[in-house]
Structure 1
Amino acid sequence: MKYTTLPNSDVKVSKICLGTMTFGQQNTEAEGHAQMDYAHEKGINFFDTAEMYSVPAREETYGSTEKIIGSWFKKTGKRDEVILASKIAGPNANFGYMRENLDFSPASLTHALDASLTRLQTDYIDLYQLHWPERKTNFFGQRGFKSQEDAWEDNIQAVLETLDGFIKQGKIKHIGLSNETPWGIMRFLEEAKYKNLPKIKTIQNPYSLLNRLFENGSAEICTREQVGLLAYSPMAFGVLSGKFLTGESHPNARLSLFPQFSRYNSAQSTQATKMYQDIAIKNGLTLTELSLAFVAQQSFVTSTIIGATSLDQLKENCNTIHVTLSEEILKAIDEVQALIPDPAP
């Protein structure tokens, strides 16, 4: 395994982070435990979850992923060997069953954090993230910002003050954002800098060969301000494995089970995937190796979040850690991006 540190900290994290959002829906508790056992054995010390998981979010499975991680901690006694990340769901998640107010008020933050700590069977979370912005901004499938009627009032200082209180209590150690825009990243950094409040260490956003929108603004911010990207969906829900190009049926694949996740189903995504597969084959690589190595090589990426529904998938993904793409391959990738830019926004 390869390691780095969370930016502006001495926290050592693996360059592959175990994504767990399938635990409790597509994966049973036993399967989740098996994945965590394997990941730990292979040197992955970074696990990511969220209060809303498993995904797709449903009231019946709310918090199930955190519970499975918590039972693994209890069974193995390895909590202190894992850098644990979790998230509070923001108001734009539209999941009213979680609590009365889906906002980042002190009461909501306290309720969400304490509930996560209970499910996770731990007294601290290493990296606590805000899963969605409170304000209305761009969402999946939307390339850029569109002005919307929005009652949000800037409360970023108050949010950071509440999170600072959690840090001082020892409930969390570091903070991050998720599904945020360049403007949001800079506002959190600005408040931290001028009000002597905790600085965000990471931003968790989608990033893959089919979605490189992070490079437009956010990548420069992360580089210059020392914030690390935790790249999720690097395999585009399995599309970048190439399995959907064969014409075979994959009834247990996420895109088959949950057709509402359609962002990677476009004709442009299929065309780009075929072109990336050609590059991989030409260079003696699998499409999975090409896809994950591309993400891992970006200087602004701290860790790549790998989610798998089987141990075989997890093993294949972990084995890509030592793949390095040449400048020639990277140039070929950029040529496809220029022809079909970001087909899955």
Structure 2
Amino acid sequence: MKMNRLGRTSIEVSEFCLGSMTWGTQNVAEDAHDQIDRALDAGINFIDTAEMYPVNPVSAETIGRTERIIGLWFERDMRREDVVLATKHSGEGLAVVRDGAPITAQTIPEAIEGSLRRLKTDYIDLYQFHWPNRGSYMFRKNWSYDPSSQLMLDTKAHMEEALGALEDEVKRGTIRSFGLSNESAWGTTKWLEVAERSGGPRVASVQNEYSLLCRLYDTDMAEMSIQEDVSLLAFSPLAAGLLTGKYQDGAVPEKSRMSLNGDLGGRKTDRAFEAVQAYLDIADRHGLDPAQMALAWCRTRPFMGSIIFGATTLEQLETCLGAIDLDLDETVLDDIAAAHKQHPMPY
């Protein structure tokens, strides 16, 4: 397993990361623990979660359940030192977490303490802000994104306050590093500037959606990542399962994500299925599993820190693990590049 340095920290993470957002709704604790065991056996050392997980759906009754499941694994196996653990502080507007309160210097220690308690650990390796207080163009909001209501002075004041609170947590030993999620190039560079000017942990990573179907990261964010040593942690590298091909021709497998979230968070479009078919055809021509091809392609990107994938069954997990040693040759990469030009931004 190739290991990558997380930003400018000393933390080394596997280039594949085990996602956990279904643990507690689509998976029970035993399933999750089996997945962790198998992932570690395969060389993965990185697990990503969030205080709001599980999803499908997000509800007041299940908030924090995924962290509790991971905590039970730590309690059972006593292997905390074998795992780089990432979790997230929910942003403004999620009513079932702190009544939708924004991220502040007051919520940061409270949220960290809650995560530590559920995770049954005394430190978090990577602490991330799930989305910025000012909003985000992610999750299909890019089609109507309008940042004109943002107040720069308020944003900078928030960043200074939040980084001060995070620095206190670093000194307490509760977190080792800091990352963002669902962020923009402007937002990330402002966090970096504030950290350099006033102190606080430097942004190590940005967790944004990235896949063959969602390539918003390829321009400004890519340049920022390379020039500033900020790693991308790619979520939904299989486009919520679309790139496996299991939803083609109107199929909706029982207990699949589409059976629970009909439009896959805005990803279900006619153009998406056309694009998926183009990638399925490439995989077929080259004798590749389409899911493994999609994951292996993410490994080729120069800004990639780790690729976060999730599974609801061990069979799905095994398929994803098959991408670890898969290197795509130039003919495959050329075909993928051509398909991307024919099917850009399908949702």
TM range (shorter): over 0.9
Q: In structure 2, what is the equivalent of residue 316 of structure 1?
A: 319
Structure 1: state its 5+ residue gaps.
Answer: none
CA RMSD in angstroms comes to 1.5
Q: In structure 2, what is the equivalent of residue 215 of structure 1?
A: 218
The secondary structure found in structure 2 opposite 1:128 is strand
The reply on whether 1:60 has 2:61 as its aligned counterpart is: yes
Q: How does 1:28-177 map to 2 (within 5 A)?
A: 28-55=28-55, 56-91=57-92, 94-100=93-99, 102-143=101-142, 145-147=145-147, 149-150=149-150, 153-154=154-155, 155-177=158-180
For residues 260 and 276 of structure 1, the distance between their equivalents in structure 2, rounded to whole angstroms, comes to 20
For residues 229 and 139 of structure 1, the distance between their equivalents in structure 2, rounded to whole angstroms, comes to 15
Per the normalisation by structure 1, the TM-score is 0.95
Paired residues of 2:139 and 2:265 also in contact (CA < 8 A): no
Paired residues of 2:127 and 2:178 also in contact (CA < 8 A): yes
Paired residues of 2:164 and 2:199 also in contact (CA < 8 A): no
Q: How big is the shift at 1:151?
A: 6.7
Greater displacement, 194-203 / 224-233: 194-203
Give 1:95's aligned amino acid: L
Q: How big is the shift at 1:216?
A: 2.4
Q: In structure 2, what is the equivalent of residue 276 of structure 1?
A: 279
For residues 105 and 270 of structure 2, the distance between their equivalents in structure 1, rounded to whole angstroms, comes to 44
Per the normalisation by structure 2, the TM-score is 0.95
Structure 2: state its 5+ residue gaps.
Answer: none
Equivalent residues, number: 342
The secondary structure found in structure 1 opposite 2:240 is coil
Q: How big is the shift at 1:338?
A: 1.2
Q: In structure 2, what is the equivalent of residue 18 of structure 1?
A: 18
Q: 1:225 aligns with which of 225, 228, 252?
A: 228
Give 1:135's aligned amino acid: R
Greater displacement, 222-231 / 187-196: 187-196
The secondary structure found in structure 1 opposite 2:312 is coil
For residues 58 and 178 of structure 2, the distance between their equivalents in structure 1, rounded to whole angstroms, comes to 23
Q: How big is the shift at 1:70?
A: 0.2
For residues 126 and 321 of structure 2, the distance between their equivalents in structure 1, rounded to whole angstroms, comes to 22
Paired residues of 1:101 and 1:108 also in contact (CA < 8 A): no
For residues 289 and 241 of structure 1, the distance between their equivalents in structure 2, rounded to whole angstroms, comes to 9
Q: How big is the shift at 1:7?
A: 2.0
For residues 140 and 104 of structure 2, the distance between their equivalents in structure 1, rounded to whole angstroms, comes to 28
Q: In structure 2, what is the equivalent of residue 189 of structure 1?
A: 192
For residues 196 and 249 of structure 1, the distance between their equivalents in structure 2, rounded to whole angstroms, comes to 50
Q: In structure 2, what is the equivalent of residue 339 of structure 1?
A: 342
Q: How big is the shift at 1:148?
A: 5.2
Q: How big is the shift at 1:280?
A: 1.0
Q: How big is the shift at 1:247?
A: 5.0
Paired residues of 1:251 and 1:257 also in contact (CA < 8 A): no
